Amino acid sequence: MTVTVATLGFPRIGPRRELKTALESHWSGKSDAAALLATAAGLRGQAWARQRDLGADIVPSNDFSLYDQMLDTSAMVGAVPAIYGWKGGPVGLATYFAMARGSQGGHVHHEGCTHSHAHEGEGAPAAEMTKWFDTNYHYLVPEFTEGQHFALSSTKAIDEFLEAKAQGILTRPVLIGPVTFLKLGKSRTEGFDQRALLPALLPIYAGVLKRLAAAGADWVQIDEPCLVLDLDDRDREMLRLAYAELVKAAPGLKLMLATYFGGLGDNLATALALPVQGLHVDLVRAPEQLDAVVAGARPDLVLSLGVIDGRNIWKADLSAILDRVEPVVKAGRNVILAPSCSLLHTPIDLDRETALDPEIRDWLAFAVQKVAELAAMARALNEGRDAVRSTLDAASAAVASRRTSPRINNPAVQKRAAQKDATLARRKSAFAARRRVQRARLNLPAYPTTTIGSFPQTPEVRKARADHDKGVIGDVAYEQFLRDETARTVQWQEEAGLDVLVHGEFERNDMVQYFGEQLSGFAFTKYAWVQSYGSRCVRPPIIFGDVARPQPMTVAWWEYAQSLTAKPMKGMLTGPVTILNWSFVRDDQPRSATCRQIAFAIRDEVVDLEKAGCAVIQIDEAALREGLPLRRGEWQHYLDWAVESFRITASGVADATQIHTHMCYSEFNDIIASIGAMDADVISIETARSQMELLDAFASYRYPAEIGPGVYDIHSPRVPAVGEMAALLTAAANRLPADQLWVNPDCGLKTRKWPEVKPAIANMVAAAQAARTA
């Protein structure tokens, strides 16, 4: 049986972020819908042709999206909340983008926002956005109500299939499966479990499948990544019901059920019993499941083996993969080779990275290179390994070079990380004692005020950095520009009456990339953008080797900022867990080991800041929660090493140095013990939208240290009134002792504009003053 190659999805932002440019131009009114749609069609056409030319036999369609594939699914089934004023019929662009970004009524929802929020009287807020499994990609959360009516409201899946067909490519359309779609959504009706909507939803899916079959599709890929999560009996029953129904929808149409981001585990039997014609499994995250899948699968079940890592950028050891796949093929199985998941989570093309060190470059494969790897392996299986001998040898050589390169190994770093000394992860005294000396040193008022770190990254700031990168302005001019921005911001904070100041982070492109660029063991790219949400992208640094900090990274900026004021200036760092979770990480040692190395590097920075005189140091761990494993049984192990890494970072300083941490997500109940174990002196969290309910977790845990519950929803341009923030502080003080409380916004202010920030912070300071005298 011939082995074929499939991809499950391809990056859609475009090799030069053409989609980002087109979207932002359209949103700002500079170009019309036709121009946007033409760019989008061009990108789709390019991606299909490219994958085919690289050797993919099965090319996906409907993996493209103007914003997000979950939002596309909501549009497909007509799950549009009433606030968007949609009257039925096809969901048009205006409704689609209103759900993605909020709608006018004076206010366009800005692209820098990751949350839903209430904009009273300002049109409709955007739908809530949240993390897609354990990735840094965000999807728009579908919303359901009891009695929800569904209707086919977007023919995008069929249209794009026909578009590719007209280009001469018979694609395999991709749909998000109905069970994953419902499970990842939320119910707007109190007490209503949206899973009850499955019977109402299935006819829409069946209708789409019928139309696809009529348009000429032979296979459809249905993604059910929920199959790698902990499921209950009702979920499993839903899967049985859904697929019994859907395989009957269109005679002759075959379904490839795709699972990814983990192993099927205790859902294996459920998956194998579904009457679908093909099953895709992730053999990168869960290589051990291959034997059980093969043993349990019906002989006629087509197996799509996800052997190339869709979540990382390393070249694969092709011969080692062939060793594992060959016996399956020899046994007469019908096998497709594929990436572990959609290639959406990798950058597009390594060939553009001409500035990367050639040795490191040789270790890497982006989306384009990964398809070529698959094609080479398929040829080896079909024609014998000699047919691609040089490719296989080159892959083995690259893997061997990465394993043994002196660039990867730093014995001093390894020795340091191997230390078992428990005092490295322990502050000198317990919190109560630290608090006494910190209070004496800082002498802050009750309800001390501060901000989370960044101030607006204006177009001028971004332009100065781009001009500096291009050589249009020199180092001196760029430094001076940043000093001026910093000085203005420090002076303004003094005038605003804030108690603990920040320098503003103007010198940083991104809170992770900035550090990656200065640490050894990291490589960074010029064009390797990965979509985070909508038009927003990140360039995750690549951690290829042992991590060290050759020299201080932030001390000079801190010293400059502190020289401008007598008030305490916070040192501002990104923590090890967040750097790890927002980077491409080496796969030749456990993530925990890499995290521990980063922890020591950042610890050195903490110590150097203290030496320079810094009394308050914030170590951001915004991504601590998103690193949680998908299976609950694996949580504690992760939390233990993540917290240990944070503690290593924070524990090199004297009792009198106050360590802050910051986390901007709003769920602490299930991990509160680990938050406590971080042993920070102060934690700032996002709470403005939850009316301080979040603090209940801290209260019932009797969290001993200080907390800055956000009182200003920074994701909205709206300026909160003094009374509103004062009421939030009262609500906080009803839950926790007042002497534990700080006053701050939910998160950094980099995506906001100065005309919003200035009055909002002035009001926040006034609210703190009111609380002090209450």
Ligand X SMILES: Nc1nc2c(c(=O)[nH]1)N[C@@H](CNc1ccc(C(=O)N[C@@H](CCC(=O)N[C@@H](CCC(=O)N[C@@H](CCC(=O)O)C(=O)O)C(=O)O)C(=O)O)cc1)CN2
Judged by the rule CB under 6 A, the positions of this chain that interact with ligand X are: 112, 114, 136, 462-463, 465-466, 509-512, 532, 536-538, 582
Contacting ligand MET within 592-621 (CB under 6 A): 620
620 annotated as a binding-site residue: yes
Which partner in ligand X, ligand MET, Zn ion, none is near 536 (CB below 5 to 8 A by kind)?
ligand X
Q: Are 283 and 306 spatial neighbours (Cβ–Cβ below 8 Å)?
A: yes
Separation between Cα atoms, residue 441 and residue 684, nearest integer Å: 21
d(CA 373, CA 316) in angstroms, rounded, equals 8
In the chain the first and final C-alpha atoms are separated, in Å, by 79
Tokens representing residue 161 in the block: 């299939």
The interaxial angle of helices 69-77 and 156-166, nearest 10 deg, is: 110
Q: Which does 685 bind (CB under 5 to 8 A by kind): ligand X, ligand MET, Zn ion, none?
A: none
DSSP E strand stretches across 252-330: 254-258, 278-282, 302-308
The answer to whether 662 is annotated as binding is: yes
Find the part of the chain contacting Zn ion (CB under 5 A) among 469-477, 538-546, 616-624, 736-744.
616-624
**105 annotated among ligand-binding-site residues:** no
Can you say how many angstroms the Cα of residue 209 is from the centroid of all Cα atoms in its chain?
A: 31
Q: Using CA atoms, how far apart are residues 288 and 282, in angstroms rounded to an integer?
A: 10
Select the span of 144-152, 256-264, 575-583, 659-667 touching Zn ion (CB under 5 A): 659-667
DSSP string, 26-81: HHTTSS-HHHHHHHHHHHHHHHHHHHHHHT-SB-EES---SS-HHHHHHHHHT---
Residues 38-97 that bind Zn ion (CB under 5 A): none
Q: Which of 337, 543, 572, 628 binds ligand MET (CB under 6 A)?
A: 572
Beta bridge partners of 658: 616
Residue whose C-alpha is closest to residue 614's, from 658, 573, 676: 658
- When CB distances to Zn ion are compared, the closest residue is 664
Q: Is 290 annotated as a binding residue?
A: no
Q: Which is nearer to Zn ion, 202 or 624 (CB)?
A: 624
Separation of alpha carbons 508 and 506, rounded Å: 5
Q: Is 453 in the site for ligand MET (CB under 6 A)?
A: yes
725 binds Zn ion (CB under 5 A): no
Among 417, 473, 542, 664, binds ligand MET (CB under 6 A): 664
C-alpha span between 481 and 478 (Å, rounded): 5
Tell me which residue has its CB nearest to ligand MET. Answer: 748
**In contact, 33 and 153? CB cutoff 8 Å:** no
* Among residues 52, 156, 662, 735, the one that binds ligand MET under rule CB under 6 A: 662
CA-closest candidate to residue 313, choices 352, 347, 339, 354 = 347
Q: Give the range of 123-131, 350-358, 452-460, 517-525 binding ligand MET by CB under 6 A.
A: 452-460
Q: Is 626 annotated as a binding residue?
A: yes
The Cα-based distances of 336 to 103, 283, 289, 293, 325 in angstroms read 44, 13, 16, 14, 10
Shortest distance in whole angstroms from residue 714 CB to ligand MET: 9
Residue 67 CA to residue 139 CA, distance in Å, equals 9
Q: How far is the CB of 452 from Zn ion (least distance, A)?
A: 6
* Residue 113 annotated in ligand binding: no
Distance CA 677, CA 473 (A): 46
Out of 747, 760, 767, 768, which residue is the one contacting Zn ion (CB under 5 A)? 747
Tokens matching residue 61: 């369609």
Crossing angle, helix 459-470 and helix 475-496, to 10 degrees?
160
715 is catalytic: yes
Establish whether 460 is an annotated binding residue.
Answer: no
Q: Does 454 bind ligand MET (CB under 6 A)?
A: yes
Q: Which does 537 bind (CB under 5 to 8 A by kind): ligand X, ligand MET, Zn ion, none?
A: ligand X
* 624 forms part of the interface with Zn ion (CB under 5 A): no
Question: 336 labelled as ligand-binding?
Answer: no
- Cβ-based neighbour number of residue 231 at 10 Å: 19
Q: Which of ligand X, Zn ion, ligand MET, none sits in contact with 337, Cβ below 5 to 8 A by type?
A: none
Structural Rg of the chain based on CA atoms: 27
Asked if 313 interacts with ligand MET (CB under 6 A), we say: no
Q: Which residue has the tokens 């070079």?
A: 401
Minimum Å gap between C-beta 357 and ligand MET is 29
- Contact status: 502 vs Zn ion (CB under 5 A): no
Q: Is 542 helix (H, G, I), strand (E, B) or coil?
A: strand
Instruction: Compare residues 306 and 575 and give the one whose CB is closer to ligand X.
Output: 575
Q: Is 729 assigned to a binding site?
A: no
Sheet strands (E) in 624-730: 658-663, 682-685, 706-709
Interaction pattern, residues 718-747, with ligand MET; x per rule: CB under 6 A = -----------------------------x
CB of 15 to ligand X, least distance (A): 13
CB of 512 to ligand X, least distance (A): 4
Strands 530-533 and 536-538: antiparallel
> Running DSSP on this structure, what letter comes out for residue 750?
T
Question: By C-alpha distance, which of 454, 579, 604, 469 is closest to 513?
Answer: 579
Read off the amino acid at residue 714: I
- Nearest approach in angstroms of CB 247 to ligand X is 38
- Beta carbons of 561 and 490 less than 8 angstroms apart: yes
Q: Which does 532 bind (CB under 5 to 8 A by kind): ligand MET, Zn ion, ligand X, none?
A: ligand X
Q: Among 71, 371, 622, 697, which residue sits at the site for ligand MET (rule: CB under 6 A)?
A: 622
Q: In this chain, which of 750, 766, 767, 768 binds ligand MET, going by CB under 6 A?
A: 750
Residue 623 interacts with Zn ion (CB under 5 A): yes or no: no
Closest distance of CB 486 from ligand X, Å: 16
Contacts of 644 by beta carbon, 8 Å cutoff, 6+ apart: 425, 596, 599
Kindly provide the b/e burial profile for residues 35-69, where b requires at least 16 CB atoms within 10 angstroms of the residue's own CB: ebeebbeebbeebbebbbebbbbbbbbbbbbbbbb
Residue 584 C-beta: closest distance to ligand X, Å? 12
Listed ranges 337-345, 383-391, 448-456, 728-736: which one lies at the site for ligand MET (CB under 6 A): 448-456
Which residues form the catalytic set? 715
Binding-site ranges for ligand MET (CB under 6 A):
452-454, 511, 572, 620, 622, 662, 664, 747-748, 750
Known binding site: residues?
Answer: 17-20, 131, 452-454, 505, 536-537, 582, 620, 626, 662, 664, 686, 747
Known binding site for 5-methyltetrahydropteroyltri-L-glutamate: residues?
Answer: 17-20, 131, 536-537, 582, 626
Binding-site ranges for Zn ion (CB under 5 A):
622, 664, 747
